[in-house]
Homo-oligomer: A and B are copies of this chain.
Amino acid sequence: MSKRPNVLWIMADQLRFDYLSCYGHPHLHTPNIDALAARGVRFTSARVQSPVCGPSRMSAYTGRYVRSHGSTWNGMPLRVGEPTLGDHLRVAGAHAALVGKTHMIADRDGMAWLGIDPASEIGVRQSQCGFDPFERDDGLHPDSPRQQWSAYDDYLVRHGFDSANPWGDFANSGLDADGARLSGWLLKNSRLPANVPEEHSETAYMTDRAIAFMQDAMTRDEPWLCHLSYIKPHWPYIVPAPYHDMYDATHVVDPIRHASERDTDHPLMAAYLQARVCQSFSRDHVREHVIPAYMGLIKQLDDNLGRLFTWMDAAGLSENTIVAFTSDHGDYMGDHWMGDKDFYHEMAVKVPLIIADPRPEAEATRGSVSDELVEMIDLAPTFMRALGCPGMPHVIEGRDLTPLLQGTEGFARRYTISEHDYSWSEMAKALNMPQEDARTVMIFDGRWKYVRCEGFDPVMFDLETDPDEVTDIGRSQTEEHVAVRARMEKALLAWATRHHSRITATKAVLSKQGMAAEQGILIGFWDEVEYEAATGKPFAALTPAGPPRS
């Protein structure tokens, strides 16, 4: 086994930070994830760079803010040549493998323009966020042109679950009393058991695939990073037995919301509240019906992680594998009268993050909790450091978490940032916002959360006096609030004007080039005397004209 550790980077999809027992959920017990926290560091203030799958993940995989990588929402291809964690690790001789979801949309036009065959090794990596795909499945197979027959569909067919859309008809449907299929896309069906045994469900299947990857990797002497990326508990909210009826309305915690929020006169917030998914989850009966299924999906995930960790222990992998667990964003579930994600309240933008490093260097922090402001883009540089990959400060915008994992000095962040492009949304349509202006950006300093809304007043919350974020002080004229907003705008401006697209060379590389380039380029010298005084070198005047070249 290599002396360098491996990294297992587990990502759930749409998992709220507060739906795990180690993060305080009163009814949902997740002992396997809790045990991971007991072996590592649990972060209480980790936020994603966009509260929606695609851009959040592109930030995670590139270590760069959304405004840097440019894949601002789910359908927006990640530009060809945008450097990823996988690319950096590969240069360092480590293997970056994908098992599950990325939400990557390949830049096919860009590849065509640069003459890159999408089926070539380079083309495949450019299509898979820089990973080598062991298994790619984004976990949504609707009955539509978007449907992509996956290896999981093949698997279901092999196990007797045969239809034109096994993912939809079995893994994400229930049955009525007469055996008729009832779609998991409809919320009223959330409490039915999925039409597939647990061991053949998506969560179990992907766990099996991670084990298969690791079995395969053990035959080679190369450190690896495995991105095990589960689709659940993302919608469709439907879970196999026995998880479908482990929880009921008595286990549903009260919504975080206040009547006054519905009266907002902020045009953008008002438009959010009018969106169908927000209207839907504002109804108590929807919350009480769907949340037990959501909890069941998380409980199932925890059990599968227990199975995975047990297997890794037996295989001898645990002692040399850093395990990280997180999510790409949360889920409103009716809080603030909202549904799904797409804005910046804590249940949408804050995610669980646990990193357990088995190495002796991390002994001091085992079982500890870190309240530092961390971002999803910090994972890439942390993993790069662990796998012996040189830092890429001209590319990577995240910050290496190693000091926090080893209990040493050196990590500091004053502000955390998240962005959202809502040009595709009902809100943009209702507000008639052009694509270029349908955007918001959040900046949070640990107390004040400021959301800049292009074309509108900002939204702001004070999490110290208003931890539930029910009072928007974005237009408050109190002296303190005015001053905080000015400070936040200055901090955003410092962030936004950084040369984040300057990725082609480091200063060190440029210095070498520069020294060569400057040789012979003489700017502002009056005569030989000035030149020699300034440089300490004789002025090499070739008199008369130099010799012929040939």
Contact = CB atoms under 8 A, between A and B. Distances in A.
A157 B545 CA distance: 13
A521 interface: yes
Most B C-beta atoms less than 10 A away, residue of A516, A518, A523, A528: A523
Contacts of A528: 186
Contacts of A165: 542, 546
Given A496-B497, A542-B181, A549-B163, A144 B520 contact: yes
B114 A116 contact: yes
Interface stretch (A79-87, A202-210, A294-302): A79-87
Contacts of A546: 163-165, 169
Contacts of A281: 524
A147 B542 CA distance: 16
Contacts of A518: 144
Contacts of A489: 489-490, 493
A74 to B, nearest CB: 8
Interface in A108-129: 109-110, 113-116, 120, 122, 126
A531 B188 CA distance: 12
Main secondary structure of the interface of A (DSSP, over half): loop
Contacts of A78: 504
Most B C-beta atoms less than 10 A away, residue of A286, A419, A489, A545: A545
Interface in A489-548: 489-490, 492-494, 496-507, 510, 513-514, 516-528, 530-531, 534, 539-548
Contact of A523 (B169, B183, B340, B502): B340
A402 interface: no
A339 B524 contact: yes
Contact of A499 (B126, B439, B520): B439
A347 interface: no
A107 B524 contact: no
Contacts of A516: 144-146
A545 B76 contact: no
Contacts of A441: 497
B501 A142 contact: no
A525 B76 contact: no
Interface in A175-189: 179-183, 185-188
Interface stretch (A3-11, A65-73, A256-264): A65-73
A527 B186 contact: yes
Most B C-beta atoms less than 10 A away, residue of A75, A164, A195: A75
A183 B340 contact: no
Contacts of A411: none
Interface string A431-446: 0000110010100000
A110 B122 contact: no
Contact of A505 (B76, B496, B506, B539): B76
Contacts of A519: 142-146
A146 B110 CA distance: 32
A545 B184 CA distance: 13
Contacts of A366: none
Contacts of A549: 149, 153, 157, 162-164, 166
A126 to B, nearest CB: 8
30 contacts: A70-B499, A70-B500, A70-B502, A75-B517, A76-B504, A76-B505, A78-B504, A79-B81, A79-B501, A81-B81, A81-B114, A114-B114, A142-B520, A142-B522, A143-B520, A144-B521, A163-B548, A164-B546, A168-B542, A170-B545, A183-B541, A186-B528, A186-B531, A187-B526, A188-B526, A235-B523, A276-B534, A436-B499, A492-B493, A493-B493
Interface of A: 67-72, 74-81, 87, 107, 109-110, 113-116, 120, 122, 126, 140, 142-147, 149, 153, 157, 162-166, 168-170, 173, 179-183, 185-188, 195, 235, 276-281, 283, 286, 339-340, 393, 419, 421, 423-424, 435-436, 439, 441, 452, 454, 489-490, 492-494, 496-507, 510, 513-514, 516-528, 530-531, 534, 539-549
